Amino acid sequence: MALDEELILSIDNLQTHFGVRQIVKAVDGVQLQVRRGETVALVGESGSGKSVTSLSVMRLLSHPGRIVGGSMPFRRTAGDVIDLATASEKEMRRIRGRDIAMIFQEPMTSLNPLLTVGDQIGEMIALHYPVSKSEARRRAKEMLEHVEIPGAASRLDNYPHEMSGGMRQRVMIALALACEPALLIADEPTTALDVTIQAQILDLLRRLQESNGMSVLFVTHNLGVVAEIAHSVAVMYAGRIVEQAPVGDLFAQPSHPYTRGLMACVPNAALHRSSDGERHRMTPIPGDVPNLVSPPSGCAFHPRCSYAVAQCTTEPPSLAIVGDRHLSRCWRSNEV
């Protein structure tokens, strides 16, 4: 399977469905590319399909979720390319943790409460490399130092419940990076943390990404976080990418009404002064995320959109070019 040299992952028309009698199209034709050394943020409200997209890449979908269409060519650490959509479970077990690693939102549900953090990191290393138990432990200590956990040697024998939330998240990062993956997927990794610890974790991820040269797919609903860490942004709504652009372009000139609505909900961006000096408050997006069992006709966002016209209610727009590496799924992108 061919893949451009600059790309590490190319998601092409990914379709992930849930249900048997009533089909939920959680991911409906997603197109997304991740380049070498790039951080791509996948943004959207709860229920938009962003976490299902990341779980589809890892092939960790729970029943009755299944990939029903599309391809996901991925360039492994060894250099060969494999389609994640059709790879066998045996191949995926080799890839998970070694070539692609994932950081989950809540470490207390992701770390094993019955094993020390040293044992958990050591097991990951021993699973993918032929090393002795003592060598795995030595590398585990190095990883804890790498993610800046003080007193790493003594922390190896801690259980997850003996560490703070910020420390546990650092352990999750150490576990994810233990085998030097080519791609790191971070699914809302800072949501459960307070603002100060969140900033520290984001700074750590950014520095580790730069030093390791790995690619990152960062899943979040927080545009403020996106501005801190991403090179490019893909905005999801109702299972589809509705806008994608380099991060500076997206913030400077959003071309989809949904993206503008998300930006109006960000406190730092929404509370600004107009030309007459008047302050504007945050503006919520009206309505709710659509029911994906029976989504709206035409553009899925049209029931909540102030720009909608008759065409929007009947004809689904395609993802069209509106600028350099800037795509938008809207009939009125130029006016937005």
Work out the angle between the directed axes of helices 133-146 and 117-128 (0-180°, nearest 10): 110
CA distances (Å), origin 150, targets 144, 199, 227, 281: 8, 18, 29, 42
Q: Which pLDDT score, from 0 to 100, does residue 275 have?
A: 46
Asked if the 7-230 domain carries CATH number 3.40.50.300, the reply is yes
Q: Which pLDDT score, from 0 to 100, does residue 274 have?
A: 45
Tokens of 299: 């553009």
Q: What residue ranges do the domains of the chain occupy?
A: 7-230, 241-328
Q: Which pLDDT score, from 0 to 100, does residue 304 have?
A: 95
Closest CA to 30 of 52, 45, 46: 52
Q: Which pLDDT score, from 0 to 100, does residue 270 have?
A: 40
Q: Which pLDDT score, from 0 to 100, does residue 272 have?
A: 46
Q: Which pLDDT score, from 0 to 100, does residue 194 have?
A: 83
Let me know: does 174 contact 147? Beta carbons within 8 Å: yes
241-275, pLDDT tens digit by residue? Answer: 999 999 999 999 999 999 999 988 776 544 444 44
Q: Which pLDDT score, from 0 to 100, does residue 268 have?
A: 59
For residues 284 and 279, what is the distance between their CA atoms, to the nearest angstrom?
16
Torsion angle of C-alpha atoms 161, 165, 169, 172, degrees rounded to 10: 10
Chain-wide mean pLDDT for the chain? 90
pTM of the model: 0.91
Q: Which pLDDT score, from 0 to 100, does residue 210 have?
A: 86
Q: Which pLDDT score, from 0 to 100, does residue 238 have?
A: 95
Q: Which pLDDT score, from 0 to 100, does residue 1 have?
A: 64
Q: Which pLDDT score, from 0 to 100, does residue 121 have?
A: 95
Tokens of 125: 């290393």
* Residues lower than pLDDT 50 in the chain: 269-275
